[in-house]
Amino acid sequence: MPFRTSRVILFGDCDPGGVVYTPRVAHFVVEAGLAFLSQVLGGPAARRLFDMGILPPARALSIEFLHPMTWDEVIDIEVSVERVGEHSFTMSVGAANAEGTGTFRGTITQVTVSPQTMRPVQLPPELRAALEKTLSG
């Protein structure tokens, strides 16, 4: 079952016309991914990943814009795991407004990297198990 969260589009997220700045949507994707990871890891995602001895930089980010989002609008965001690899994992993120109209969809792939060598390392067993558990639903 996908993870769900919501967010209010803030005044600062928007251009002078009141529509979300394009780069802010990338932040929404990252923010929702971290909230999802926090839930599946049972604590703040960044701290839990750092405690596992890894850094989680993004390798790829793709966003498709489907409908404008405006100031004070509430969007519902859904996150699910698309793929779990040896050194990386990919999450799918989609959002819809209160009327159910899709506003954006995207994917983000994060790599597990050693903080000492800055080279990819295998997914820690705890992270792999948490991600794979969400795939079986």
- CATH number for the domain spanning 86: value is 3.10.129.10
Total count of domains within the chain: 1
Secondary structure class of 90 (helix, strand, coil): strand
Taking the C-alpha atoms of residue 33 and residue 76, their distance in angstroms, rounded to an integer, is 13
Q: Where are the beta strands (DSSP E) in the chain?
A: 3-8, 58-65, 74-84, 88-96, 102-111
pLDDT by 10s per residue, the chain, length 137: 789 999 999 999 999 999 999 999 999 999 999 999 999 999 999 999 999 999 999 999 999 999 999 999 999 999 999 999 999 999 999 999 999 999 999 999 999 999 999 999 999 999 999 999 998 55
Taking the C-alpha atoms of residue 73 and residue 41, their distance in angstroms, rounded to an integer, is 29
Of all helices (H) and strands (E), which one includes residue 55? none
Taking a C-beta distance cutoff of 8 angstroms, is the pair 24, 32 a contact?
no
Polymer length in residues for the chain: 137
Domain around 81: 3-135
